[in-house]
């Protein structure tokens, strides 16, 4: 088991190395633009050359990457070209904001999806049609539109919740709850639309399997068959969807943070990219890969726990 | 000289997992099939009987040993040479549902190999009509899809596909096991009838001694990757030498309660004697 | 060719497909005709027209914050979306299908490489990557969509790879190879034909995703302001939400309409091309019955189980009902073993399921009665059936592996059954199960108890299932082809076990089989079933020796008996036999 975890972590490190290298190589194409943006339109070729040298962009790209990597190993992600703030702490701070939206959204998505999916799969008929209708609506309306409509209705019209802004949990829990409510609702609607349909489909498949019939012939109760057996077997595939959903939410969070003016990971990445702030972009990439690796490892371990056949490998 | 001559065939499959040792499923099997002859290959699941068939067909690779067809080594052929061999060696599989592409019409299924082997589409079509007639299917079957046919009829289509290039050898892998009792006998008769007419040889693989007895000239018994007994069908299937074959024989129930009781007792007696 | 036209015709008859496809066609046409329909260019701004209301002459839907014609921008945005969809989907399909075919068809090593690569692409948050690469793409939406297409490709890759892997193991691909077809021909002809449908379906969803993403990026302000797009319009409308809410409405409506149409079209395509998927049924509802003529009064019968006039119907594709069992009648006395024999599709398994009360949800009992120990079973709810199941009537299935829950250890599954049926303590159930496993011929009961199903052989798994069935000493054991999936030698052992258990526990057995040998071995009575009807019943010895019904006679004649040995010499023996 330990060997497996170590191997997976090793694979994650290789992945991180690869992704950061590729990102760095691609970004190096635009180093010239970065310098020009920094100095403004009126910069002379001489000052551009001087700046390029000062920032070390004149060295071979691989040397620059190696340099960056060495600093990374010492826990130093550098400083922002524009604000001169250290990248590491900034990214962590921004990530905390994004996670404080995504984690609640994910938990609610799981609970709602399982309830809705199991309800649809075990009741059939009207219940199923309602559940499918709900999923469909969540699926066909772009999240962007849902976000704006909710802001308009709940914040602008009803004035129930703040339209924009973020209050950290440590400052004021009630205000924090208010500030994340609409963003979380938007993420949940999109997430449930996808997950509930998956849970429903898996449950229908499981409930039609032979072993379910055999359990019934032994007098096992319906609740046990649905929860202990069918849901347990449906959980593995649903978990994989969930991990993808989690990563997907990071993408969605980008737009949501923009709509709600939240100082999160996505908006940080967006601004850095817009400005060409190379150290920040690289820092964001590192944390992105780290997150992906952790989520995937968690999914695989949970899958191994759920599925005895997978445990062998 | 035999048509098919398998000598000391060994096949091992790699196992899942890192550095896992491969499992050997055939431990040096030798058998011969003469021209126009049926060799019945009997064994239980895991005996390696299907692997022998797949190796002869080039669908599995031998790890050691030789497979000679008409005097020529065919174990190590290039993809191109192997394709050319399609004219001589054909196959009928067990599952009549999975062995025909559900998206193609029966006509397309049957013309395709003919066209690949160089026939014009027109000739191939004409030949298909004759083939359908030979296996007892109506000519309009060509325009329909496999899903519209019963298991027995599908197996007839598969047989038509196999005999299309007039091969010298057909590997039959449990071709009647998935069929109902009444259909089974009819399809077996079709096999025999075709052999008498065309002189093709069969390597006939089955788990069922009764089926093998019905169609084979000679029978070989396979047990866990080893050939344990070979001989004329009548001898091997009614008075076998090897205790395992005897066990196999008495294990198959017969549709007569009195005779079945006698077999049961014989089986118990054999078990007490402590053979495998 | 004929099925393809048939599919088209079915699609044309599906209102959802026709309406959504129609809407999309109209929208695309509007986009193409934009230069002719709109009086202003999408970027012509007239400062006198800033936030002009809808209906202003020349400005059908008004003008935006920069005084640009909203109607014109809307139509031109369609083209941006269409190009985004084409690029994104095109790249995703090209990359995904190629890699899927290669990864699925060729060996495990090739697949390992493609798998790794696509997992890598898949696990990365796509939108974030597009943002990170903004300095590289310069925000050009076409370039961005190109990358987005790559990011979408893992979905397609997985679909294609799974289908190909499935097809590759189909015997018809082996048969094609034996027929002398090369790899390219097999891929093109046998594999691609299977993959086509799902790809068409996925394309609709991919286009929706590409359009939504492009809009999202434009909303954020990625890319040139000169390119009219829904996202940019929504963003501008959003800024103006308090001043002129309608500006937000138009692009949102059109974008919503396009993505909704694409998703609904995708769903319609899926239903037509893949057939409708199984609908859920209410769990724990019990078998559906529609018996209008009430069950005939039960005469004081000594029979343990008496089935009369049982008729089971399934709904056919056109709504008509199809009877799979027609007026079946059976009787089993206590301790008796009855063999129910028939060919596939004869309705023998359906009859057995009806007694257990586990017919599939679609099935309806339309006539007849099933009386067990004087109690009518037809019409009982699942809750009323449950106390009988396991305890009074038990079941041994045909396929041992699929009838065990793969996620639980064998012992836990059996213990749960015993506890449900008998209500004993966990410890007592465990002791009982261990003893039974030993009794059913399992060499090391504690070890098997702690094994998962996939660690057992077929014969062992069947012994486990038999142990589970007889654990509560049922009065009737229903065994549905209990030995068909097993080797002959194992079959003989399992039949011995069943015979011994039957004598020991004094239970009656209903043995469903297609094999007369099995019947002769273990049954004292026989019922022969054909096309949903029971055509002959009686004592095994009598029926096998002297069948009355013609169907029984045909079946018995078809048995390949011991005496038929092939006698004709091989045709080739005359010419080549001498050498051998």
Q: Do C358 and A284 touch (CB under 8 A)?
A: no
**Calpha distance A31→A278 (Å, rounded):** 8
B219 touching C (Cβ < 8 Å): no
pLDDT band at C573 (very low <50, low <70, confident <90, very high): low
Q: Is residue C513 part of a domain?
A: yes
**Residues of C with Cβ-Cβ distance to B161 under 8 angstroms:** 175, 179
Q: What pTM was estimated for this model as a whole?
A: 0.84
Q: Could you tell me if C337 and C511 are in contact, meaning their C-beta atoms sit under 8 angstroms apart?
A: yes
Q: How far C560 CA sits from the closest chain B CA (Å)? A: 6
Residues C270 and C294 in one domain: no
- pLDDT over 70 percentage in chain A: 98
Contact C131 A273 (CB under 8 A): yes
Q: Do C178 and C262 lie in a common domain?
A: yes
What domain range is C200 assigned to? Answer: 2-41+76-274
Chain A residues with CB under 8 Å of C124 CB are 19, 247, 288-289, 292
Residues A41 and A95 in one domain: no
- Does the CB of B22 have a partner CB in chain C at under 8 Å? no
Q: Which residue has the higher pLDDT, A111 or C139?
A: A111
Q: For residue A243, what is the domain's CATH number?
A: 1.10.3720.10
pLDDT of the residue at C415? 94
| Contact indicator for C497, C326 with CB cutoff of 8 Å | no
Digit-coded pLDDT (tens) for B17-57 = 556 678 889 999 999 999 999 999 999 888 899 999 999 99
If asked whether residues C221 and C306 sit together in one domain, one would say no
Do A141 and C397 count as a contact with CB atoms less than 8 A apart? Answer: no
Chain C contact set for A38 (CB, 8 A): none
Mean pLDDT over the full length of chain A: 84
In a domain, C435, yes or no: no
Q: Quick one: A19 and A99 in the same domain?
A: no
* pLDDT averaged over every residue in chain B: 89
How big is the CA angle at C441 (ends C438 and C442), to the nearest 5 degrees? 65
How far, in Å, CA of C220 to CA of C144, rounded?
14
Both A20 and A110 in a single domain? Answer: no
Angle at C255 between CA C252 and CA C259, to 5 degrees: 135
Rounded to the nearest 5 percent, the helix, strand and coil shares of chain B are: 45, 20, 35
Cross-chain Cβ contact A218/C241 below 8 Å: no
pLDDT at B19: 63
Q: Is there a single domain that holds both residue C105 and residue C205?
A: yes
Q: How far is CA C16 from CA A201, C206, C267, C494, in A?
A: 22, 19, 9, 54
Q: Is residue C261 part of a domain?
A: yes
Q: Is residue C57 one of the residues assigned to a domain?
A: no
Indicate whether C238 and C311 sit together in one domain.
Answer: no
Does A81 map to a domain?
no
Candidates C259, C361, C382; nearest CB to A142? C259
**A55-74 per-position pLDDT tens digit:** 777 888 888 899 889 988 88
Burial of A177 (0-12, 13-18, 19+ CB in 10 A): middle
The answer to whether B104 contacts chain C (CB < 8 Å) is yes
Shared-domain flag, residues C306 and C214: no
Q: What percent of chain B has pLDDT over 90?
A: 51
Within this chain, do residues C484 and C542 fall inside the same structural domain, yes or no? yes
Among A21, A44, A73, identify where a domain stops: A73
- pLDDT of A83 above 80: yes
**Same domain for C164 and C236:** yes
Q: Are residues A232 and A96 both part of a single domain?
A: yes
Question: What CA–CA distance (Å, rounded) separates C356 from C340?
Answer: 15
Yes or no, beta carbons of C570 and B35 under 8 Å apart: yes
The C-alpha atoms of residue C309 and residue C340 are separated, in whole angstroms, by 16
Identify the bridge partners of residue C371 per DSSP, sorted by sequence position.
C306, C376
Q: Is the pLDDT of residue A25 over 50?
A: yes
Report pLDDT for C298.
55
Domain edge (last residue) among A38, A73, A108: A73
Residue C178 to residue B89, Cβ atoms within 8 A: yes
Tens of pLDDT, residues C154-210? 888 988 888 888 888 788 999 998 888 888 888 888 888 778 888 888 898 899 889
The total number of structural domains in chain C stands at 2
Q: How confident is the model at residue C578 (pLDDT cuts 50, 70, 90)?
A: very low
Q: Is the pLDDT of residue A264 over 70?
A: yes
Query: B268: how many CB neighbours lie within 10 A of its CB?
Result: 13
Residue A296 token pair: 């995937």
CA distance C228 to C41: 10
> Apex CA B30: angle with CA B206 and CA B74, to 5°?
95
Chains that touch A (3 or more CB pairs under 8 A): C
Q: Tell me the C-alpha distance between C343 and C327, whole Å.
A: 18
A138: confidence class by pLDDT, cuts 50, 70, 90: confident
Residue A298 clears pLDDT 90, i.e. is over it: no
**Residue B167 pLDDT more than 80?**
yes
First-to-last alpha carbon distance for chain B, in angstroms, is: 35
Residue C264 domain-assigned (yes or no): yes
pLDDT 10s digits, B203-213 = 999 999 889 99
CA nearest to C465 within chain A: A214
Shared domain for A47 and A135, answered yes or no, is: no
Query: How large is the angle between the packed helices C192-220 and C245-274, nearest 10 degrees?
Result: 170
The model's pLDDT over A159-212, given as tens digits with 9 standing for 90+, comes to 777 777 788 878 888 888 888 888 899 899 988 988 898 899 889 989 989 999
Q: Are residues C536 and C504 part of one domain?
A: yes
End-to-end CA separation in angstroms for chain A: 10
pLDDT confidence band for C575 (50 / 70 / 90):
very low
Considering only CB atoms, C136 lies closest to which of A27, A203, A308, namely A27
Report pLDDT digits (tens) over C506-546.
Answer: 999 999 999 999 999 999 999 999 999 999 999 999 999 99
Residue-number span of the structural domain to which A268 is assigned = 87-310
- Percent of chain C whose pLDDT exceeds 90: 38
- Rg of chain A's alpha carbons, rounded to an integer? 24
Q: Please list, in sequence order, all residues whose beta carbon lies within 8 angstroms of the beta carbon of residue C503, skipping any fewer than 6 positions away.
A: none
Q: Which range has the worst mean pLDDT, A225-229, B129-133, C219-223?
A: C219-223
> Is B235 an interface residue toward C (CB < 8 Å)?
no
Q: Which residues of C touch A217 (CB under 8 A)?
A: 356, 358, 389-390, 393-395, 469
Q: Which residues of A touch C394 (CB under 8 A)?
A: 217-218
Asked if C544's CB is within 8 angstroms of B256's CB, the reply is yes
- C271-285: pLDDT as tens digits: 887 766 777 888 777
Mean pLDDT of B78-107: 88
Judge whether residue A43 has pLDDT over 80: no
Are residues A141 and C256, on separate chains, in Cβ contact within 8 Å? yes
Residue B91 contacts C, CB cutoff 8 Å? yes
- pLDDT at residue number C443: 87
On the question of pLDDT at C342 being above 50, the answer is yes
- How much is the pLDDT for B1? 65
- 3-state helix, strand and coil shares in percent for chain A, rounded to the nearest 5: 80, 0, 20
pLDDT band at B16 (very low <50, low <70, confident <90, very high): low
Spatial contact of A135 and A192, defined as CB atoms under 8 Å apart: yes
Say whether pLDDT at C572 is over 60: no
Strand-pair partners of B42: B206, B221
Which positions in chain A touch C405 (Cβ < 8 Å)?
211, 215, 229, 233
Query: Which of these three, A73, A106, A129, is where a domain ends?
Result: A73
How confident is the model over B129-133, as a mean pLDDT? 92
Tens-digit pLDDT profile for residues C428-442: 999 999 999 998 888
Predicted local distance difference test score (pLDDT) of residue A104:
93
Size of interface A-C (CB pairs under 8 A): 225
The answer, yes or no, to whether residue A123 has pLDDT greater than 90, is no
Provide the pLDDT confidence category of residue B272 given band limits of 50, 70 and 90: confident
* pLDDT value for C539: 94
- Greater confidence, C291 or C328? C328
- The answer as to whether A166 is a domain residue is yes
Quick one: average pLDDT of A269-293?
Answer: 85
Q: Can you tell me the distance from the alpha carbon of C514 to that of C558, in angstroms, rounded to the nearest whole number?
A: 12
pLDDT-based confidence at residue C579 (cuts at 50, 70, 90)? very low
Query: Residue C162 contacts by C-beta under 8 Å, 6 or more apart in sequence?
Result: C104
**Which range among B15-19, B92-96, C14-18, C330-334 has the greatest average pLDDT?**
C330-334
* Contact present, B48 and B227 (Cβ < 8 Å): no
Is the same domain home to C303 and C354? yes
Query: What is the pLDDT, as a whole number, of residue A167?
Result: 82
Give me the pLDDT at residue C321, please.
84
Q: Chain B closest CA to C21's CA: distance in Å?
A: 26
Q: List chain B domain ranges.
A: 4-231, 242-276
Number of Cβ within a 10 Å radius of residue C109: 7
Which region among B17-26, B67-76, C460-469 has the lowest average model confidence (pLDDT)?
A: B17-26
The shortest C-alpha distance from C148 to chain B (Å) reads 33
Which of chain C's residues have a Cβ under 8 Å away from the Cβ of B79? 182-183
Q: What is the DSSP letter of B75?
A: T
Nearest chain C Cα distance for residue B47, angstroms: 11
* C564 pLDDT tier (thresholds 50, 70, 90): confident
Collapse the DSSP code of B182 into the 3-class scheme (helix H, G, I; strand E, B; otherwise coil) and give the result.
Answer: helix
CATH number for the domain harbouring residue C399:
3.40.50.300
CA distance B242 to chain C (A): 15
Searching chain C, which residue's CA lies closest to the CA of residue B247?
Answer: C489
Superfamily of domain B4-231: P-loop containing nucleotide triphosphate hydrolases (3.40.50.300)
C388-428 pLDDT, tens digit per residue, is 988 899 999 988 889 999 989 999 999 999 998 888 999 99
C243 falls within a domain: yes
- Asked if the Cβ–Cβ distance from A308 to C395 is below 8 Å, we say no
**Tokens encoding C73:** 């921008």
Cβ of B1 within 8 Å of Cβ of C182? The answer is no
With beta carbons under 8 A apart, name residues in chain A contacting C388: 219
Q: Bridge partners of B245? A: none
Q: Does B239 touch chain C (CB under 8 A)?
A: no
Query: Is the domain of A130 the same as that of A7?
Result: no
Q: What is the pLDDT of residue B275?
A: 52
Model pLDDT, residue B201: 95
Yes or no, beta carbons of A213 and C260 under 8 Å apart: no
Q: Using pLDDT thresholds of 50, 70 and 90, give the confidence band for residue B227.
A: very high
- Same domain as A104, residue A221: yes
* Mean pLDDT of the region B155-180: 92
For CA atoms B225, B229, B233, B234, the dihedral sign is negative
Based on the fold, state whether residues C356 and C241 are members of the same structural domain: no
Say yes or no for a CB contact (<8 Å) between C575 and B117: no
Please name the chains neighbouring C, where neighbouring means 3+ C-beta pairs under 8 angstroms.
Answer: A, B
Q: Is residue A79 part of a domain?
A: no
Q: C331-363: b or e for each residue (b if 16 or more CB lie within 10 Å)?
A: bbeeebbbbbbbbeebbbbbbbbbbbbbbebeb
Contacts of C186 in chain B (CB under 8 A): none
Q: Given this model, what pLDDT does residue B172 score?
A: 95
Distance (Å, whole) CA A310 – CA A1: 12
Strand partners, C526: C339, C538
Q: Please indicate, yes or no, if residue A78 is contained in any of the structural domains.
A: no
Chain B CB contacts of C399 below 8 Å: none
Residues C250 and C354 in one domain: no
């Amino acid at each position: 088991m330990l060997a497996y975890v170590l191997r997976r972590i090793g694979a994650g490190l290789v992945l991180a190395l690869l992704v950061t290298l590729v990102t760095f190589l691609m970004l190096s194409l635009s180093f010239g633009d970065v310098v020009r943006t920094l100095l403004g339109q009126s910069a002379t070729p001489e000052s551009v050359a001087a700046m390029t040298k000062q920032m070390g962009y004149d060295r071979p790209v691989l040397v620059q990457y190696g340099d960056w990597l060495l600093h990374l190993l010492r826990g130093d992600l550098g400083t922002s070209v524009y604000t001169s703030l250290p990248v590491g702490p900034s990214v962590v701070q921004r990530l905390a904001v994004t996670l404080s939206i995504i984690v609640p959204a994910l938990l609610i998505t799981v609970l709602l999806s399982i309830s809705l999916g199991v309800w649809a799969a075990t009741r059939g008929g009207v219940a199923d049609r309602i559940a499918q209708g709900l999923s469909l609506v969540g699926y066909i309306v772009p999240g962007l539109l849902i976000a704006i409509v909710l802001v308009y209705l709940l914040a602008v019209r009803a004035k129930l919740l703040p339209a924009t802004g973020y209050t950290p949990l440590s400052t004021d829990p009630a205000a924090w709850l208010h500030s994340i409510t609409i963003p979380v609702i938007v993420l949940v609607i999109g997430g449930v639309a996808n997950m509930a349909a998956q849970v429903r489909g898996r449950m229908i498949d499981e409930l039609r399997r032979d072993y379910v019939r055999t359990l019934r012939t032994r007098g096992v109760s319906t609740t046990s068959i649905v929860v202990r057996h069918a849901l347990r077997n449906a959980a593995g595939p649903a978990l994989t969807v969930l991990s993808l959903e989690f990563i997907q939410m990071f993408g969605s969070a980008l737009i949501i943070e923009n709509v709600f003016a939240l100082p999160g990971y996505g908006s940080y990445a967006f601004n850095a990219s817009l400005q060409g702030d190379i150290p920040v972009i690289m820092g964001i990439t590192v944390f992105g890969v780290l997150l992906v690796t952790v989520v995937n490892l968690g999914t695989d371990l949970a899958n191994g726990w759920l599925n005895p056949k997978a445990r062998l490998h | 000289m035999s048509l098919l001559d398998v000598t000391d065939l060994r096949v091992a499959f790699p196992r899942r997992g890192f550095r896992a040792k491969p499992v050997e499923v055939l431990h040096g099997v030798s058998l011969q099939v003469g021209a126009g002859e049926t060799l019945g290959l009997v064994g239980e699941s895991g005996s390696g009987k299907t692997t022998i068939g797949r190796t002869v067909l080039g669908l599995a690779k031998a790890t050691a040993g030789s497979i000679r067809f008409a005097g020529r080594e065919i174990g190590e052929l290039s993809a191109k040479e192997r394709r050319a061999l399609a004219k001589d060696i054909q196959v009928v599989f067990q599952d009549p549902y999975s062995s025909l592409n559900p998206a193609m019409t029966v006509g397309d299924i049957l013309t395709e190999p003919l066209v690949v082997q160089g026939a014009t589409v027109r000739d191939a079509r004409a030949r298909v009509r004759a083939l359908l007639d030979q296996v007892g299917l109506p000519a309009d079957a060509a325009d329909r899809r496999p899903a519209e046919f019963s298991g027995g009829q599908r197996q007839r289509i598969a047989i038509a596909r196999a005999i299309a290039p007039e091969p010298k050898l057909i590997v039959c892998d449990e071709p009647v096991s998935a069929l109902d009792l009444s259909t089974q006998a009819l399809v077996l008769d079709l096999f025999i009838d075709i052999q008498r007419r065309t002189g093709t040889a069969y390597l006939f693989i089955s788990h069922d001694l009764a089926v093998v007895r019905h169609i084979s000239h000679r029978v070989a018994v396979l047990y866990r990757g080893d050939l344990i007994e070979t001989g004329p069908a009548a001898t091997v299937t009614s008075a076998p030498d090897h205790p395992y074959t005897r066990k196999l024989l008495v294990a198959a129930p017969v549709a007569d309660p009195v005779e079945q009781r006698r077999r049961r007792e014989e089986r118990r007696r054999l078990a007490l004697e402590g053979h495998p | 060719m004929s099925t393809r036209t048939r599919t088209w015709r079915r699609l044309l008859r599906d209102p959802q497909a026709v309406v959504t496809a129609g809407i999309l066609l109209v929208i695309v046409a509007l986009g193409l005709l934009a230069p002719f329909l709109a009086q202003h260019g999408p970027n012509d701004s007239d400062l006198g027209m800033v936030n002009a209301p809808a209906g202003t002459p020349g400005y059908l839907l008004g003008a935006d914050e920069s005084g640009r014609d909203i109607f014109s921008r809307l139509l031109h945005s369609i083209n941006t979306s269409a190009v985004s969809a084409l690029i994104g989907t095109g790249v995703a399909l090209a990359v995904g299908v190629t890699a899927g075919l290669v990864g699925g068809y060729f060996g495990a090593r090739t697949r390992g490489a493609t798998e790794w690569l696509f997992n890598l692409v898949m696990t990365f948050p796509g939108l974030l990557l597009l943002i990170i690469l903004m300095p590289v793409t310069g925000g050009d939406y076409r370039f961005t969509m190109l990358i987005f297409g790559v990011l979408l490709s893992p979905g397609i890759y997985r679909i294609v790879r799974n289908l190909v892997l499935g097809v590759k193991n189909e015997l018809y691909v082996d048969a094609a190879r034996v027929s002398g077809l090369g790899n390219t021909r097999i891929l093109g002809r046998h594999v691609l034909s299977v993959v086509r449908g799902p790809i068409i379906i996925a394309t609709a969803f991919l286009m929706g995703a590409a359009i939504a993403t492009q809009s999202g990026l434009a909303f954020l302000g990625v890319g040139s302001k000169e390119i009219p797009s829904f996202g940019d319009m929504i963003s501008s409308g959003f800024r103006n939400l308090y001043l002129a809410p309608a500006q937000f409405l138009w692009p949102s409506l059109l974008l919503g309409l396009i993505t909704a149409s694409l998703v609904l079209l995708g769903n319609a395509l899926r239903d037509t091309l893949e057939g409708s998927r199984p609908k859920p049924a209410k769990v724990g509802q019990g078998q559906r019955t529609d018996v209008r003529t009430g069950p005939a009064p039960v005469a004081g019968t000594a029979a343990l189980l008496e089935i009369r006039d049982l008729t089971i119907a399934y709904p056919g594709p056109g709504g008509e009902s199809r009877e799979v069992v027609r007026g079946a009648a059976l009787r089993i006395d206590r301790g008796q073993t009855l063999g129910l024999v028939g060919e596939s599709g004869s309705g023998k398994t359906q009859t057995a399921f009806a007694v257990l009360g586990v017919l599939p949800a679609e099935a309806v009992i339309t006539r007849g009665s099933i009386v067990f120990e004087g109690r009518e079973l037809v019409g009982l709810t699942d809750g009323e059936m449950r106390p009988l199941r396991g305890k009074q009537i038990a079941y041994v299935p045909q396929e041992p592996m699929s009838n065990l829950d793969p996620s639980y250890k064998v012992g836990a599954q059996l213990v749960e059954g015993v506890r449900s049926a008998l209500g004993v303590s966990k410890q007592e159930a465990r002791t009982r199960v261990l003893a039974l496993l030993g009794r059913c011929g399992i060499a090391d009961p504690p070890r098997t108890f702690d094994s998962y199903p996939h660690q057992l052989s077929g014969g062992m798994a069947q012994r486990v299932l038999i142990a589970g069935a007889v654990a509560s000493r049922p009065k009737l054991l229903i065994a549905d082809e209990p030995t068909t999936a097993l080797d002959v030698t194992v079959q003989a052992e399992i039949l011995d076990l069943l015979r011994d258990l039957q004598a020991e526990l004094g239970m009656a057995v209903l043995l469903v089989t297609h094999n007369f040998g099995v019947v002769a071995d273990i049954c004292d009575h026989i019922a022969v079933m054909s096309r949903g009807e029971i055509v002959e019943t009686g004592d095994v010895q009598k029926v096998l020796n002297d069948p009355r019904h013609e169907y029984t006679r045909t079946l018995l004649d078809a048995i390949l008996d011991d005496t038929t040995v092939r006698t004709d010499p091989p045709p080739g023996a005359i010419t080549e036999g001498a050498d051998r």
